[in-house]
């Protein structure tokens, strides 16, 4: 599972930790993926996934990741410490800690698993959507900067970057999205795409609101072969909030392949200040 062919795509450069001993990697924030405070959370999660995939002890493909953002990462270098805490015949469980200046900024758990042929069914359905090429590309905002790294074609729920932003009765966002420049899909890229949605509170209120992810979980429903088959085509992505209050809201989202196959589902808890 050791990845040795990292490319020169901006995403690869932003998520490529350098080995620094057994279970330790050195990484650095990328200005092109900066967010309101610190780096885009999706690229931090993707860096954690890559640290597991790059480790020679990795025994299988990732099936889930949970990331808890304990504090912002400042511009500059940070350290990733990872270890497989248990390896079974079917699953391998990893724990990771991201630190900067002797302070923990992020913790994560990654579960890798062996996929076997079994009965299969999908109860969720992709949202109705016109073909990606028929939906205009939304011009990226000046802020936050990380959004410039994605081609976004909004079908609904553009929030504060919509042509005429306004309050909405629901927080649903549906869009076609892919890396910019276009890049073949893999697990790190899919991890970051799971966090590509504008915070739901901004969609509901139609304006920028201070917000940040506290905890993010991604469940991978496709293996590496399915991601390779997706290539660099846009993903169909949809998200909605479920409850807002007390300074927090939760968000559930689905990411679908161009062939209508579910690639990932994701859930997160977000802090906001209104």
> Residues 114-163: pLDDT tens digits?
999 999 999 999 999 999 999 999 999 888 999 999 999 999 999 888 88
Per-residue model confidence (pLDDT) at position 76: 97
Per residue in 212-243, pLDDT (tens digit) is: 999 999 999 999 999 999 999 999 999 999 99
Domain ranges of the chain: 10-114+130-273
The DSSP element (H or E) to which 226 belongs, if any, is helix 224-230
Per residue in 22-47, pLDDT (tens digit) is: 999 999 999 999 998 899 999 999 99
The pTM assigned to this predicted structure is 0.95
Quick count: other Cβ atoms within 10 Å of Cβ 133?
9
Superfamily (CATH) of domain 10-114+130-273: Acyl-CoA thioesterase, double hotdog domain (2.40.160.210)
Torsion over CA: 223, 229, 234, 235 (sign): negative
The first and second tokens of residue 86, run together, are 């248990």
Per residue in 69-104, pLDDT (tens digit) is: 999 999 999 999 999 999 999 999 999 999 999 999
């Amino acid at each position: 599972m050791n990845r040795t062919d990292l490319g020169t795509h901006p995403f690869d450069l932003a998520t490529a930790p350098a080995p620094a001993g057994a279970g330790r990697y050195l990484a650095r924030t990328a200005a092109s993926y900066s967010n309101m405070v610190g780096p885009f959370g999706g690229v931090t999660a993707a860096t954690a996934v890559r640290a597991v995939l790059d480790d020679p002890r990795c025994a299988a493909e990732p099936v889930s990741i949970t990331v808890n953002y304990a504090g912002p990462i400042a511009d500059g270098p940070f350290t990733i410490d990872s270890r497989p805490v248990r390896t079974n015949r079917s699953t391998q469980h990893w724990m990771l800690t991201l630190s900067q200046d002797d302070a923990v900024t992020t913790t994560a758990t990654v579960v890798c698993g062996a996929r076997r042929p079994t009965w299969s069914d999908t109860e969720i359905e992709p949202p109705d959507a016109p073909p990606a090429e028929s939906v205009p590309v939304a011009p990226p905002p000046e802020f936050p900067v990380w959004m410039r790294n994605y081609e976004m074609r909004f079908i609904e729920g553009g929030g504060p970057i919509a042509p005429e932003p306004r309050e909405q009765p629901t927080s649903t966002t549906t869009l076609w999205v892919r890396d910019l420049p276009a890049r073949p899909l893999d697990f790190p890229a899919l991890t970051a795409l799971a966090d590509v949605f504008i915070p739901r509170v901004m969609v509901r209120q139609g304006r920028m609101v201070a917000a940040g992810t506290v905890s993010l979980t991604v469940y991978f429903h496709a293996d590496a072969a399915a991601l390779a088959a997706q290539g660099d085509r846009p993903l169909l992505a949809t998200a909605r909030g479920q409850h807002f209050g007390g300074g927090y809201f939760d968000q559930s989202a689905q990411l679908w392949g161009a062939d209508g196959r579910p690639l990932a589902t994701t859930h997160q808890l977000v802090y906001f200040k209104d």
